[in-house]
Amino acid sequence: MIIMNPSSGRAEARDYIEAAETALHSAGYQVTTRETAAEGDATAFCRLACREGYDLVVAVGGDGTLHETMNGLADQECRPKLAVVPMGTVNDFARALQIPLNPADAVRTLSSSRVQRVDMGRLNDRLFVNVVAAGSLAGSLSSVTSEDKTRLGFLAYLKEGIKELTGNHVHPLRITYDGETWEGSSPLFLAALTNSVGGFEKLAPGAAVDDGLLHCFIIKDLHLLNSVTVSISLLLGNLRNHKDVIYFTARQVSVSSADPVKTNVDGEEGPPLPITLSTIPRHIEVVVPEQ
């Protein structure tokens, strides 16, 4: 089953469906294509694929489409393999698995015989695929519209982020992880499953897609001048060593606040705090390039 979001990739997702169907037919698959029209469609289609015993689900879209599709695999007895044709703004999951970011190249990967087992994350009663962020900056990124993503790409996130940084808004956070507790004020908490977050492929350079761990960052101070040094640390893969960053790994994390605080999950708006995060090690099989 191909699950396609027609609004992804500057509304070009449909342009690749015929090639994807041809590649899958050549690999011996019978193919059904489903097109999303509303929130939750990708999850419903994926659950249908599980119930009907499909061998493979192909998500054609961005990280939001992939997030919905993967939630359809939650708690299913039959879980098809997953393949990805990235069409979104950032495509962190594809980056982490070295799936080509060019959709035409990714389509050619669909016939690969190589699969990799990948961890999933659980946030309360839903799954996530890549990253959970909490704090004022996370809330501002959730306000980026689909129109801005299509028109501006990654610059849409950058525009909203800079607006939030100039305000230097922080919230009191209480973070408990594997028997430890941190309390303080922060504009941003991140929990990542992979090395790539927001297009930064060196955010957590030690993270592996199957290590069973959440790689977590607490940003203690992010005023505008300091954000320059944070950005340099991001680019060099040294964020964990920055003086205003606390880094830890854990299998379970709880985050709460006395303030109303928003979250962002895989690039989309998530539930407000409090939240509980955990990992489901090696939960799904993903088709990856032969080499």
**Any idea where the domains of the chain sit in the sequence?**
2-111, 131-281
User: The tokens of 148 are what?
Assistant: 């801005």
At residue 217's C-alpha, the angle toward residues 183 and 122, to 5°, is: 95
**2-111: CATH architecture:** 3-Layer(aba) Sandwich (3.40)
Q: What are phi and psi of 204, to 5 degrees?
A: -130, 80
User: The tokens of 88 are what?
Assistant: 């979104």
Residue 154 banded pLDDT, cuts 50, 70, 90: very low
Q: Could you tell me which residue, 157 or 206, shows the higher pLDDT? A: 206
Distance CA 72, CA 29 (A): 21
Query: Which entry of 35, 52, 268, 285 is annotated as an active-site residue?
Result: 268
Tell me how long the chain is: 291
CATH number listed for the domain at residues 131-281? 2.60.200.40
Summarize the confidence of residues 133-149 as an average pLDDT.
Answer: 60
* Ranges 2-16, 31-45, 273-287: which has the least confidence: 2-16
Active site residue 268: yes
pLDDT of residue 240: 65
Asked if pLDDT for residue 17 goes beyond 90, the answer is yes
Tell me the per-residue pLDDT of 250-267, one tens digit each, with 9 for 90 and over.
999 999 999 999 898 987
**Which bin fits 215, alpha (ψ -120 to 50), beta or left (φ > 0)?**
beta
| Helix, strand or coil, per DSSP, at residue 181 | strand
Tell me the per-residue pLDDT of 79-136, one tens digit each, with 9 for 90 and over.
999 999 999 877 889 999 999 999 999 999 999 999 999 999 999 989 999 889 898 7
Closest-CA residue to 18 (of 62, 64, 60, 72): 60
Residue 132's CB: how many other CB atoms inside 10 A? 24
